[in-house]
Amino acid sequence: MPANLPPQYYEAERRYRVAKTAGEKIETLEEMLAIMPKHKGTDKLRAELRTKIAKFEQESRRKLATSRKGSYYHIKKEGAGQVVLVGLPNGGKSQLVSAITEATTLVADWPFTTQVPIPAMMRFENIQVQLVDMPPVTDQNAQPWLSNLLRSADALLIVVDLADEPIGQVETITAELEKLKIKPMGIRGEPTLGMVQKKALILGNKNDLEGSGQNFAALSAKFGGEFPLISISAKERLRLEELKKRIYEMLDIIRVHTKAPGSKPDLAEPVILSKGSTIEDAASTIHKEFKHRLKYAQVWGSGKYSGQRVKRDHLLEDGDIIEFHV
């Protein structure tokens, strides 16, 4: 039996097709359902409309739920990069963050001290890097939002207690990360289907304690092929400067200074670019359209000689000063 639909129906359907949000889709679908005459010929169509409405209602509920959780524990990125700490209870994550940043987060002898993510800024030479102190990766309550935070991080710091079977800790941590579909790695490797790859550094903490030297040697023997490692003491403040440098290196970024002809570069506030960036990428940080106007640039640093004239695809290096000519 033909459906015989009135013109208003087609008008509502047109609006349904261009609707952008789940809410607008539901509204127009309900309109279509109300307009549609009820008889045998429209039975199937009406059932289809109801299925669609149910689908969009589900979608909008899901979006609402994730946006609530997301906003509550979403840590806005600041500085040159965001590095998130992962580890088991009592590894010393909070102690470490308070040792290398201005923040004073709660450090305690009992496990599960940190319950929400806490950001803090670490100064390294002329830049700031954001560190995020986290609850233990095994904290079941944290699982839903933990995943989002870790997936969006620029890099991970795997913190283990060198006095407490660190190999087992790294294995537990990587297994937990795997459950969250995150694959930590020392260098970017072959993509793994369904997994998000994250640059990671294994940090052995508490190297002031007995047995930590031997344990670090064993840890390095086991994971040295896969990950960079460092041994430090957050409490005794040992090798913290070296650690800051390693954290910076893990971010795969360079710092450059841009300037117009005749002006001085701002050496205090570098522009942060990812490694492998070109003159054109640096120009884009001035203005989206600026790179099109660019004729050439002069570089002090990575050029063969100071002030060398270079093209837009010239590869930049850390510390370069770039003068744009339009």
Ligand X SMILES: Nc1nc2c(ncn2[C@@H]2O[C@H](COP(=O)(O)OP(=O)(O)OP(=O)(O)O)[C@@H](O)[C@H]2O)c(=O)[nH]1
Contacting residues toward ligand X, per CB under 6 A: 87, 89-95, 107-109, 111-114, 135-136, 205-206, 208-209, 233-235
Distances (CA, A) of 199 to 101, 156, 216: 21, 6, 20
Shortest reach from residue 99's CB to Mg ion, in Å: 13
Between CA 184 and CA 160 the distance in angstroms is 15
Shortest reach from residue 202's CB to ligand X, in Å: 15
Nearer to ligand X, 112 or 290 (CB): 112
Between CA 63 and CA 283 the distance in angstroms is 37
Smallest CA-to-CA distance from 257 within 249, 245, 246, 266 is with 266
Contact with Mg ion (CB under 5 A) among 60, 98, 113, 172: 113
Longest C-alpha distance within the chain, in Å? Answer: 85
Which of the ranges 113-121, 228-236, 248-256, 297-305 carries the binding residues for Mg ion, by CB under 5 A? Answer: 113-121
Shortest reach from residue 235's CB to Mg ion, in Å: 13
Contact with Mg ion (CB under 5 A) among 94, 130, 233, 302: 94
Nearer to ligand X, 234 or 310 (CB): 234
Distances (CA, A) of 183 to 14, 88, 138, 317: 44, 17, 16, 29
Shortest reach from residue 290's CB to Mg ion, in Å: 44
The answer to whether 229 touches 219, Cβ cutoff 8 Å, is: yes
Nearer to ligand X, 80 or 85 (CB): 85
Q: Which residue, judged by CB position, is nearest to ligand X in the bound state?
A: 92
Shortest reach from residue 160's CB to ligand X, in Å: 10
Asked if 114 is part of the footprint of Mg ion (rule: CB under 5 A), the reply reads yes
Looking at the chain, list the stretches that DSSP marks H as alpha helix, in order from N- to C-terminal side: 7-18, 22-35, 43-73, 93-100, 143-152, 166-179, 212-223, 240-250, 279-286, 290-293
Enumerate residues 122-141 that contact Mg ion by CB under 5 A: none
Asked if 101 is part of the footprint of Mg ion (rule: CB under 5 A), the reply reads no
CA angle 193, 195, 198 (to 5 degrees): 130
Choose the contact partner of 184 out of Mg ion, ligand X, none; CB within 5 to 8 A by kind: none
Which of the ranges 12-20, 106-114, 167-175, 315-323 carries the binding residues for Mg ion, by CB under 5 A? Answer: 106-114
Nearer to Mg ion, 116 or 221 (CB): 116
Asked if 285 is part of the footprint of Mg ion (rule: CB under 5 A), the reply reads no
Shortest reach from residue 205's CB to ligand X, in Å: 5
List the structure tokens of 173. Answer: 């941590």
Nearer to ligand X, 206 or 255 (CB): 206
The answer to whether 183 touches 195, Cβ cutoff 8 Å, is: yes
Enumerate residues 3-42 that contact Mg ion by CB under 5 A: none
Between CA 100 and CA 92 the distance in angstroms is 12
- DSSP letters of 54-92? HHHHHHHHHHHHHHHHHHHH-----BT-EEEEEE-TTSS
**Contacts with Mg ion, residue ranges (CB under 5 A):** 93-94, 113-114
